[in-house]
Chain A
Amino acid sequence: MSRSHSPPALMARLLLGLVVLVSLAPLLLVLINAFKPHAEIVQNPLSLPGSLAPANFKAAWIGGNFSVGLVNSLLLTGTTVLVTVVFSSLAAFPLARRRIVIWKLVTLYFLCSVTVPIQLFLFPLYFLYARLGLIGNVFATALIIAAINLPLSVMLLRTYVLTIPAELDDAAFIDGATPWQTFLYVILPLMKPGCVTVAVIVALNTWNEFLITSTFQQGDAGFTMTLGYRAMAGVMSADRGIMMAGACIVIVPIIAFFLFLQRLFVEGMTAGAVKG
């Protein structure tokens, strides 16, 4: 088509190309410098590495204590996802079907708690956790992150239940099913795609979460991967090669996870955000 070679189309391409460059350049810098010794980076951070020796990665893996961090990150993320998905799918069902008298009040409560600043509850919660000896406990921290993710998840899954015809519940009721059986055998199978979307988004949020995680997961034994990387930055920042290898270790799994499930990510991020 001749249209795609017109000046405006060329401009569009140039502009998009520029944006791609700005988006990717910092990440490419990480990749090339992860393989360079510190002296080489100081000389020229833009040069390509001379070899692909993994020495920096070995040092970073030990320096960042990533074998502990990986386990903690997986436990924290797994627990948060499990709690959020189970609790929000349960709550979404009666809220969407208006099966309880106070459904409006509960929906409003969840809507309001979407916008509550973490600083409104962080400080008493921290000192309460400290008194209970829960600082550094991955599962206790996961409950906090789950509570923060609950409202949006409930709202998202609620819209999923709304797409399921209510006649299906009625049929189950006439056949003598209890509410619990209706949920388990009629509603839940049909809202599985919604649950998967919520799980993916919550997993990403939890893996990357900083404020809660850094406040409540104190002490080396409780460090997640990103916290381990941050601690390493304090000690080893003198060697930028090792630092960038550490950054690689932290970001490559997320990028892989994202690329693998990108359709779900885009769906989850735009669900509820697009109005009209």
Chain B
Amino acid sequence: MSQAAERDWSYYLFVLPALLLSACVILVPALLTLILAFTDWDGVSRPVWLGLDNFRDLLSDITFWRAIFNNVKWTVIFLTIPMAIALVVASLLLTRRRSQRVYQIIFLLPYVLSPIANASIWSNMIFDQRSGVLGYLNKRLLPMQDPLGHVSTALYTVASVDIWHFWGYLAVVFFAAMRQVPTDQLEAAYLEGAGGWQIFRHVTLPNILPTIALMFVMVTIFSFLTFDYVYLMTGGGPAHSTELLSTLAYGFAFRSFEVGKAAAIGLFMSLFGLIAAVAYVWMSRESVRR
């Protein structure tokens, strides 16, 4: 570290605006949530202290358990399917030297569009019985129901739209990581007669493993926070079959005005998030040490 420029009190002023904003918007309301989780509050009148009642209610609420189970399902789906597609497509892109840039742009298009637009496009133009492609096929070729309207398929349907939107991001990140694999290692493997799969398994994969691990953690975090596509496409229905912790909390806060219960779910989500956050901070530890 440089010694000439000393530590100076005025440096604190540089951090102050960011810290102040973050404290007002995130830290203080988060602490309030911590308290509200133990109260009965409609958002307007005085909160009433309840102790652990909110948590007791939630633990005996079957919808709450269903939401947790759906969140776990969602996490498993997102840790496997988009990860696998992104890895395969990213390694295929390595072989397309001239067109890789164009491919990347195309794959990112769904990612940069707003969830409101994407959800509406899929609901209206693909799944809808009257105006969608599936409805069209239903009328002409083979019987097909709107998969969003069925308890058994709704969650997977919403997840597939979210995957369609999200996977391109993973592909671009993996591709960027793969391009940093040292070429001398790749050449050595090639000269020793290694095949495409062997090169991927023994050279590419070990090199990009830190990136995969970080994405693993990020996807886990996002899977527990996911809200947009479910809320927009099914609102948690039909019959709570797509309910997630985030949509359940939102409904408690803004539909039935049981803010205490919503806060309790928020706290619960944070607890799950905390596990992933510890992993995330641990992985970013070199940025603190450096």
Given the interface contacts A24-B106, A45-B131, does A226 sit within 8 Å of B116 by beta carbon?
yes
Chain A residues within an 8 Å CB radius of B3 = 170
Interface string of B254-290 (1 = CB under 8 A from A): 1000010011011101100110110011011001101
**Do B124 and A240 have beta carbons less than 8 Å apart?**
yes
Kindly identify, within residues 111 to 154 of chain A, every residue whose CB is under 8 Å from any CB belonging to chain B.
111-128, 130, 143-144, 146-148, 150-151, 154
Beyond A121-B33, A166-B2, 20 extra complex contacts between A and B, CB < 8 Å:
A16-B89, A29-B133, A94-B15, A108-B288, A109-B19, A109-B22, A115-B221, A122-B29, A124-B259, A126-B253, A147-B21, A155-B284, A172-B5, A179-B14, A211-B231, A230-B232, A251-B113, A265-B112, A266-B104, A273-B211
Chain B residues within an 8 Å CB radius of A143 = 21, 25
**Do B116 and A275 have beta carbons less than 8 Å apart?**
no
Chain A residues within an 8 Å CB radius of B49 = none
**Distance, CA A118 to CA B113, complexed state (A):** 21
Chain B residues within an 8 Å CB radius of A245 = none
Chain A residues within an 8 Å CB radius of B33 = 120-121, 123-124
**Distance, CA A102 to CA B213, complexed state (A):** 29
Chain B residues within an 8 Å CB radius of A83 = 21
**Distance, CA A248 to CA B112, complexed state (A):** 14
**Do A169 and B5 have beta carbons less than 8 Å apart?**
yes
Q: Which of B17, B136, B273 contacts A116 (CB 8 A)?
A: B273
Which bracket fits the contact residues of B?
A: 35 or more
Taking the nearest CB of chain A, how far is it from the CB of B79, in angstroms?
16
Asked whether A104 is an interface residue with its Cβ less than 8 Å from the other chain, the reply is yes
Name 18 A/B residue pairs within 8 A (Cβ), A-sorted: A12-B92, A26-B118, A88-B18, A97-B1, A112-B277, A114-B277, A115-B276, A117-B224, A123-B259, A124-B29, A159-B287, A173-B5, A179-B5, A208-B113, A210-B231, A226-B116, A266-B104, A270-B176
Asked whether B84 is an interface residue with its Cβ less than 8 Å from the other chain, the reply is no
**Do A121 and B210 have beta carbons less than 8 Å apart?**
no
Taking the nearest CB of chain B, how far is it from the CB of A144, in angstroms?
5
From A23, A115, A259, name the one whose CB has the most chain B CB atoms within 10 angstroms: A115
Given the interface contacts A16-B103, A155-B287, A247-B117, does A45 sit within 8 Å of B132 by beta carbon?
yes
Residues of B within 8 A of A (CB): 1-8, 10-12, 14-15, 17-19, 21-22, 24-27, 29-30, 32-33, 36, 43-44, 85, 88-89, 92-93, 95-96, 103-110, 112-118, 120-122, 124-126, 128, 130-133, 135-136, 164, 168-169, 172-173, 176-177, 180, 196, 207-208, 210-211, 213-215, 218, 221, 224-225, 227-228, 231-232, 245-246, 249-250, 253-254, 259, 262-263, 265-267, 269-270, 273-274, 276-277, 280-281, 283-284, 287-288, 290
Interface string of A71-97 (1 = CB under 8 A from B): 000000000000100111011011101
